[in-house]
Amino acid sequence: MTANGDLRSRILEQARVLLLKEGYSAVSMRKIAKAVGCTPTSIYIYFDNKDALIHALIEEGMELLAGDLAKASAPDSEPRARFRGTCLAFLEFGIQNPEYYQIMFLLHPEKMERYPTDKYRRARRNLELFADILREVRSGSSFDPMLSATVLWSLLHGAISLHLAQRLDVGMPASTFIDQVVEHAESMLLPESP
Amino acid sequence: MTANGDLRSRILEQARVLLLKEGYSAVSMRKIAKAVGCTPTSIYIYFDNKDALIHALIEEGMELLAGDLAKASAPDSEPRARFRGTCLAFLEFGIQNPEYYQIMFLLHPEKMERYPTDKYRRARRNLELFADILREVRSGSSFDPMLSATVLWSLLHGAISLHLAQRLDVGMPASTFIDQVVEHAESMLLPESP
Amino acid sequence: MTANGDLRSRILEQARVLLLKEGYSAVSMRKIAKAVGCTPTSIYIYFDNKDALIHALIEEGMELLAGDLAKASAPDSEPRARFRGTCLAFLEFGIQNPEYYQIMFLLHPEKMERYPTDKYRRARRNLELFADILREVRSGSSFDPMLSATVLWSLLHGAISLHLAQRLDVGMPASTFIDQVVEHAESMLLPESP
Amino acid sequence: MTANGDLRSRILEQARVLLLKEGYSAVSMRKIAKAVGCTPTSIYIYFDNKDALIHALIEEGMELLAGDLAKASAPDSEPRARFRGTCLAFLEFGIQNPEYYQIMFLLHPEKMERYPTDKYRRARRNLELFADILREVRSGSSFDPMLSATVLWSLLHGAISLHLAQRLDVGMPASTFIDQVVEHAESMLLPESP
DNA sequence: AATGAATGAGGCTTCATTCAT
DNA sequence: AATGAATGAAGCCTCATTCAT
């Protein structure tokens, strides 16, 4: 029983694996159960329904992303470096964890009817983090930090989305693209270095 | 007799409506048929299968977008204005036609197995359009136009995606956000105007 | 129009091709129409329904088989040779024309509800042919020719059926098997040659 | 609660009944479910898919036939009697269990795509049984037992097939025909008894 | 804590056929 | 002589979920 973790976490794990391998619409209670080695019914012991399971997964992803971003934005470095580092951390989270990213940011709320709205507020915090960094790095100049953070988020989100949807030029390595995105983010938001 | 217009276009229309109201995964042959007021079988008179139907919709969307972009990028105006106009046109297309945008740019190719690859090339042309405009507006400076166009596309795509997913600050009017995105796009890609 | 025969015969031809390529249950009015290059509706001009089409095909097959058997049983040769030749002709008809053989002898009458019973009588004539040959070759001895012919038919039919169902030993060439069947037929029905 | 017996065997039973009444191609999951009194979905609890259901039926038939043949070929009788008895047992199995015989020997492998090949090997064993008996009864004479067994099988199979397809002379009682087949089998394969 | 049995709804698709033109 | 439009029935199968045990 304790051998390979408790059932709840094994369910989440296999759901994630399935998500990664076959995409959201191919994830079903049945398939998860088969992958885990239990019955579909057992899943309902730990999760009210399929949405609740997905939400738990989103929760996990949020935690992970929050950790990555916190590390990258730690105030022990020069502001511009923190800006770059945080952008990079976000981009890399999306590219390294496509299954989390998909359910966290690519799923339409229409599919998440039963998702308690307050959970979404958590995503807002990432925005505030970006706003904070921008405030610091552009101290003095007059601008709307939340608005700029939103635009920045758009850029990063768009870059990840296109990459995950495999709609980017196939010839270009991901790392090159990511670097370029960060560079453009800088020239978009940071004052020309002296 | 049932109503007006030929069945084929009514099918496409209702498919679009459903797409808009309930999202891609809720669009089914049965539901379309019910919305149109015909039998599912009838749909197969006009479309080989579900994918073909979706692809016809994509085609329509591509046509529409191409028209919008062509108008906006017409060479009868000053380069910077064309840059702004084209960005705006893309953003507005996405926001005004969420159902088209979704199937055109948000669907994973995994769901589009039967989509002929040459159709995807058409999407690439939009990228080239942006690259052309960038080349013109930044003539002289050394940079990779396709790469910058890709980053620009990421920004625009990200902005539309977040808007469509209703993940933007609810307080802010869409037009404000759009304007800000275009402005940021300028400062990201255009040389500081003297 | 006259270029590639009239529609009726082209329909029959393509039905036969389909039957051969994909088996009975894959033959549909739609597929035939597509293969012919006309609409399913057009088929109904020449055939009342699907069964009628199949019956026409059966008719064709009966004609062909009758021809083959008539040639093989022509009274210009020695009785034993005619016996051998006629058996061989039947076996070869089945193996060379699996599509005809299938609908002529392997389809259950339950699927042929609308088949006029008098058509089946035609098949009986083949039986009589065998009976005639047996009568001749075993002139004098007392036996029931029709009964023996029926048993002979069973042997030949069984051999063809197993071959067509690919249930025979894969290692053995068809011609070897056929020869053996004829030889066994002889020892089953013909008096030991002096 | 619905009735008696566990659902799995009731499904198999009704499938058999349908097979008998309406033929293979009329056997559908829906019809089986309706006959049993459950939903089509329930069938999938016990069988992975339609083929698996049919294969289970084939399995049952194989078991039955194997039992019949084993009893008939038991080495407690005189060789010639065993020969006769085994032929008779095969013929009677086919005539008494038309629904089993149909799926076991009359279905084309093309319709049995998902049928594991090793299951077919089981059918081959019947052939070996006949070969063994022939070896014994014709000890001494030089002949190919497997080949002769195959021809014998053709005869028996053909006889059953024609009977099941109702293509035999309607006037003749089945038992007469069967007896004649066995007698002819003897004169085909056994040395003239002194 | 977990299962086995069952379901109703719905997924895409193909069938033979008809009817007005 | 031929078609285009349409249909109702049916094909296999998967879904999330529930309920009694």
Give mean pLDDT, residues B160-185: 90
% residues pLDDT > 70 (chain D): 90
Q: Is B144 strand, coil or helix? A: coil
Whether the pLDDT of residue D2 is over 60: the answer is no
Residue C43: both structure tokens together: 């088929």
Do A1-47 and A49-189 show the same overall fold?
A: no
**Mean pLDDT across B51-71:** 95
The CATH fold of domain A49-189: Tetracycline Repressor; domain 2 (1.10.357)
Under 8 Å CB-to-CB from A34, ≥6 apart: which residues?
Answer: none
The pLDDT of residue D109 is 66
Residue A125 pLDDT class (50, 70, 90 cuts): confident
- The 3-state DSSP class for residue C12 equals helix
For residues A137-165, average pLDDT: 92
Interface test with C, best of D25, D105, D113, D155 (most C CBs within 10 A): D155
**How confident is the model over C64-73, as pLDDT tens digits?**
999 999 999 9
Query: Which residues of C are less than 8 Å from D167 in CB distance?
Result: 105, 109, 120, 123
The top-level CATH class assigned to B58-189 is mainly alpha
Residue D84 predicted with pLDDT over 70: yes
pLDDT confidence band for C193 (50 / 70 / 90): low
3-state SS assignment for residue C89 = helix
- Helix H or strand E segment including C93: helix C79-96
Torsion angle in degrees (nearest 10) through CA of B162, B165, B169, B170:
150
Domain edges within chain A = 1-47, 49-189
The pLDDT mean for chain C works out to 89
Q: pLDDT tens-digit profile of C28-46?
A: 999 999 999 999 999 999 9
Q: Please give the Cα distance from B140 to B128 (Å, whole number).
A: 18
Give the CA radius of gyration of chain B: 19
For domain D51-189, the question of CATH label 1.10.357.10 is answered with: yes
- Residues with Cβ < 8 Å from A31, sequence gap 6 or more? A18, A22
How many Cβ atoms are within 10 Å of D170's Cβ, its own excluded? Answer: 6
Which of these, B22, B164, B167, lies nearest to A117 by C-alpha position?
B167
- pLDDT, mean over chain D: 89
Which residues does strand E reach (CB under 7 angstroms)?
A 1, 7, 38-42, 44-45; B 26-31, 40-41, 44, 49-51; C 26-31, 40-41, 44, 49-51; D 2, 7, 38-42, 44-45
Binned at pLDDT 50, 70 and 90, residue D5 comes out as: low
B172 or A130, which is more confident: A130
Per-residue confidence (pLDDT) for residue B144, from 0 to 100: 92
Q: What b/e string do you get for D28-65 counting C-beta neighbours within 10 Å, with b at 16 or more?
A: ebebbbebbebeeeebeebbeebeebbbbbbebbbeeb
Instruction: Please tell me whether any atom of strand F lies within 7 Å of the Cβ of C146.
Output: no
Instruction: Tell me the mean pLDDT in the region D2-23.
Output: 86
D45 pLDDT above the threshold of 60: yes
Instruction: Check CB contact under 8 Å for B155 and A153.
Output: no
> Mean pLDDT, to the nearest integer, of B10-15?
97
pLDDT tens string D182-192:
999 999 998 76
Task: Give me the mean pLDDT over the D166-171 stretch.
Answer: 80
- Interval D72-83 mean pLDDT: 90
DSSP B49: S
pLDDT of amino acid A58: 93
Of A99-103, B20-24, B150-154, D2-6, minimum mean pLDDT range: D2-6
Contact list, C169 vs chain D (CB under 8 Å): 146, 150
Average pLDDT, chain B: 89
Whether the pLDDT of residue A194 is over 50: the answer is no
Full-model pTM:
0.90
Arithmetic mean of pLDDT over chain A: 89
Whether D69 contacts D86, CB under 8 Å? yes
In percent, the amount of chain C with pLDDT more than 90 equals 73
- Tell me if chain A has a CB within 8 Å of the CB of B28: no
Q: Taking residues C101-107, what's their average pLDDT?
A: 91
Say yes or no for a CB contact (<8 Å) between B150 and A177.
yes
Q: Are A29 and A14 in contact (CB under 8 A)?
A: no
Q: What is the mean pLDDT of residues C131-155?
A: 91
- Best CATH choice for the domain A1-47 from the list 1.10.3430.10, 3.30.70.1350, 1.10.10.60, 3.40.640.10: 1.10.10.60
What confidence score (pLDDT) does residue A117 get?
63
Q: What angle do CA C14, C18, C22 make, to 5 degrees?
A: 175
Contact yes or no, D with C (3+ CB pairs under 8 Å): yes
Per residue in A34-93, pLDDT tens?
999 999 999 999 999 999 999 999 999 999 999 999 999 988 889 999 999 999 999 999
Q: Which of C110, C151, C155 sits opposite D23 (nearest CB)?
A: C110
Under DSSP, the state recorded for D7 is H
pLDDT for B93 = 98
CB within 8 Å: A161 and B158: yes
CATH number of C59-189: 1.10.357.10
